[in-house]
Structure 1
Amino acid sequence: MAGRVRIGTSGWVYPPWRGKFYPPKLAHRRELEYLSRQVNSVEINGSFYALQRPSSYLSWREQTPDDFVFAVKGGRFITHLKRLRDVDAPLANFFASGVLALGPKLGPVLWQLPPTLGFDGELLAAFFALLPRTTSTAAELAGRHDERLAGRAWTVTDTDRPLRHALEVRHASFTDPAFPEVLRAHGIGLVIADAAAEWPYLEDVTADFAYVRLHGSTELYVSGYTDEALDAWAERIRDWTAQGVDAYAYFDNDANVRAPGDAIALARRLNVGPS
């Protein structure tokens, strides 16, 4: 069976998009609704900066079509401040913040490491061992949240589903050939990051899905993708899905309002319509 394809943008709340991608008089609260009729997935980025609320996740779920999928970015408190150490309570808080309220629209959880954190196989293995692999175990973990989530926690799942995790790295030491083997051993997807040569480019598929983040072809967050570049990415994704691997691709080149147009153009190449 061929893998499924999800194409979208990294976030959707960008003032420069208003009047250029979003219609001039579109209410800000309807931006996700509008985008979700153009692509079939999106990354939630606000969860990286702060714990969100269950009401937000419920609202995002309600605004989008039935077959829409969200990737959720893990908190920087875990990846950047704690640097993956002593994160039992922060992980419980993250999953209690409302992530599970997305229900069947919950896709992979993205963990982005800081550029100052190098490859440490033992540290990664210890972190991966803490990650829930089903929504039921995520709900159980969420139930161990601390007082920060008192009165605002979501600790249930509507049914038990597999839960995927992907890791994005930004330090040159991750070119170590041992790194993808650690990911494979724990079933973690490697984020294939196209970042104008700012960070290591790795293209190993280490799980039953591929996860691509397109930060800009020649200039980070700014440059768009040519027809030739989009054709090449479409061909890579076809190769993966032909092998039964699901593919997620998100455009993060938001600065010049290139992300939504590039996402729509790639989706068309792959015959992936809106949900």
Structure 2
Amino acid sequence: MRLHVGCAMWTHRSWQGRFTPHPLPPRDRLRAYAAHCNAVEGNTTFYATPTPATTHAWAAQTAADFRLVPKVPQLVTHERRLTDVAAPMRAFLDAVAPLGPRAHALWVQLPASFGPGDLAALARFLRRLPAAHRRAVEVRHPGFFADPRAARLLEQVLADADAEWVPFDTTTFFRTPPATAAERETWTRKPRLPRRTRALTAHPIVRYLGRDDPAATVEGWQPWLEVVAGWLAEGRSPTVFVHTPDNVDAPALARRFHEEVRARVPSLAPLPEPPPAAPSTLF
């Protein structure tokens, strides 16, 4: 039984000297992050497909059971809307191949304009993905949340492909007006959608957005503790990503989420203790 937790990235300026050593060359940053969390979102692949040499280096910095969820490139999902994408998908799949089992699932994040009328394109795309890869789909069109029939149709498409529906829970973030510069900037970019807690596969993935105030973030994730504990009791293997607008405390928050689930599921093994960010001194 394992719960994987992580953040939206594996490096952040504010983490240096606090969670990770400083200075730290780029080639070692994922390794340092992996001492704190056992999963990370692969957002970088959305903007540019990395070389196999780059992903080989990522694999070398992490254990085989580390989970990286690479996002399908925006060329495929947003620009071409899953149509006529054989060449970019071939390049993407070649790029993630060196990750081996660390590539936990291929994350298909769809634009808010991709609605119920586009499900045929999604079904065709998922059918063509190699069976060796898990599939995880994030939708943002309000129709999938407001119309029960549209939700059922999407679930059927996902079930046919053994794909997971990835919820992005922003309900805590939008509960009260923004209070920091990072929250104000995030306010205009993130989707406002209902919380969804239904898992379709044995490997559910959750994205949770809290606030820059850690106490508000912890208060907001309380409903997820029972959900995730329930999934573990059912034999599922969930992954939970904790975001905040500034992400300053994200690694500590992800670890705290794991601890709070473990308080409900004592058989869940604790995360290993990370090494100190900097060597101790006498002064």
**TM-score, with normalisation over the residues of structure 1?**
0.79
* Cα distance in 2 between the residues matched to 1:91 and 1:256: 30
Letter in 1 for 2:142: A
2:200 matches 1:206: yes
Q: Note closer, same or farther for the CA distance 1:133–1:58 as it changes in structure 2 (3 Å cut).
A: same
State the partner residue of 2:277: none
Amino acid aligned to 1:123 = A
Per-residue displacement from partner, 1:7-59 (whole Å, max 9, x unpaired)?
A: 11122133343344434433443221111011111122211110101111111
List runs of 5+ in structure 2 lacking aligned partners: 175-190, 263-268, 274-283
- Alignment partner of 2:240: what SS? strand
Q: Please state whether the residue corresponding to 2:114 is helix, strand or coil.
A: coil
Partners of 2:42 and 2:70 within 8 A in 1: yes
Moved beyond 4 Å, runs of 4+: 222-225
The aligned runs of 1:261-272 (5 Å cut-off) are: 261-269=252-260, 270=262, 271-272=269-270
Segments of 5+ residues of structure 1 without an aligned counterpart are 135-162
3-state SS of the aligned residue for 2:204?
Answer: strand
Give the structure 1 partner of residue 139 of structure 2.
Answer: 169
Q: Which amino acid aligns with 1:172?
A: P
Distance between the aligned counterparts of 1:205 and 1:186, measured in 2? 14
TM-score normalized by the length of structure 2: 0.77
> How many percent of aligned residue pairs carry the same amino acid?
30
Aligned-residue CA RMSD in angstroms?
2.2
Secondary structure at 1:209 match in 2: coil
Relative to total residues, which structure has the larger strand share, 1 or 2?
1
User: Using the alignment, how far apart are the partners of 1:100 and 1:266 within structure 2?
Assistant: 30
CA contact (8 A) 2:197 2:227 kept: no
Q: Equivalent residue for 2:249?
A: 258
Q: Secondary structure at the match of 2:255?
A: helix
> Residue 259 and residue 49 in structure 1: after superposition, are their counterparts in 2 closer, same or farther (change >3 A)?
same
1:244 paired with 2:235, answer yes
The question of 1:193 aligning with 2:154 is answered: no
In the alignment, structure 1 residue 29 sits paired with structure 2 residue 24: no
Q: Which deviations, in whole Å up to 9, do the C-alpha atoms of 1:224-251 show, x marking residues without a partner?
A: 4543334432221110121122101112
1:176-214 CA distance string (max 9 Å, x none): 232222212221100021123533233321222211011
Give the letter aligned to residue 205 of structure 1.
A
Contact 1:111/1:166 (<8 A) preserved: yes
Name 1:96's counterpart in structure 2: 94
SS of 1:205's partner is coil
